[in-house]
Amino acid sequence: MKKPSEFRVDIGPGEQTTALVYASGEPRIGAALILAHGAGADQHSPFMTDFADALAALGGDVITFNFLYTERKRRLPDRAPALESCYRAVIAAVRNQTASAQRALFVGGKSMGGRIATQVAAADPRLPVAGLVLLGYPLHPPGQPDRPRDAHLPGVARPMLFVQGTRDAFGTPDELAPILGRVVPAPTMHPVVGGDHSFKVSGRDKGKQAAVYGEIQGTIARWMSAITSA
């Protein structure tokens, strides 16, 4: 796979972070997807690089980035306003630097990264976002279903694709279903049978796990293509 190109994003006075662009293969979808990392890993984690590589090969320009706390090699995530500010700055930079993003820009991410994307989209209905790709949406902390993170979801008001493992301790497809039933436009749910928060299934069969990831990646590419074409 072609090595991604790198660029710097100005976040605020004296603050920058690193973004990586995985250029699309053929045939091109004609869209860009910003994928943000989860709380416990940066954009160089195997999950992030594997998904970015695969989705680029399927025709999308994929952009990943580090939130400032991971750029500074810190372990604890920043508070939501700082995370959201970083994401907004990346959106602006990607729209300026990536031609496909001016046609159709999708945002999202893994776990926390996806949640921040939904908060940014919900806060600004004028933001030019075609849809959101949410990989393991953290509906609630593990073991704490009484602390849902869903109040803002109806405000997103764009197409959303939820990829959710049926063993996800942060929220299963069944837990999300009644919440998403109140959201317009109706979100798309892709359940990963037997998958955990990172869509890992039981057993040590690497071929089976690769097939699970491949199915997810194909679903994302087809979903983006359908929205872009429409």
pLDDT tens digits for range 5-25: 999 999 988 899 999 999 998
Number of domains, the chain: 1
User: What is the token pair recorded at 96?
Assistant: 């300026």
**Phi–psi pair at 146, nearest 5 degrees:** -80, 5
Asked whether the beta carbons of 30 and 100 are under 8 A apart, the reply is yes
pTM of full prediction above 0.85: yes
- What domain range is 65 assigned to? 5-229
Residue type for position 68: L
**CATH code of the domain containing 152:** 3.40.50.1820
Nearest Cα to Cα of residue 135 among 59, 229, 200, 68: 200
How buried is residue 203: exposed, middle or buried, by Cβ count under 10 Å (0-12/13-18/19+)?
Answer: exposed
State the sign of the Cα–Cα–Cα–Cα dihedral 135, 105, 53, 56.
positive
Task: Report DSSP letters for the chain, one per residue.
Answer: -PPPEEEEEEEETTEEEEEEEE---SS--S-EEEEE--TT--TTSHHHHHHHHHHHHTT-EEEEE--HHHHTT-SSPPPHHHHHHHHHHHHHHHHHH-HHHHH-EEEEEETHHHHHHHHHHHH-TTS---EEEEES---S-TT-TTS---TTGGGT-S-EEEEEETT-TT--HHHHHHHHTT-SSPPEEEEETT--TT---SSS-HHHHHHHHHHHHHHHHHHHHHHHH-
For 3-8, the CB contacts below 8 A with 24+ separation are: 4/52, 4/64, 7/93, 7/97
Per-residue confidence in pLDDT tens, the chain, 230 aa: 679 999 999 998 889 999 999 999 889 999 999 999 999 999 999 999 999 999 999 999 999 999 999 999 999 999 999 999 999 999 999 999 999 999 999 999 999 999 999 999 999 999 999 999 999 999 999 999 999 999 999 999 999 999 999 999 999 999 999 999 999 999 999 999 999 999 999 988 899 999 999 999 999 999 999 999 98
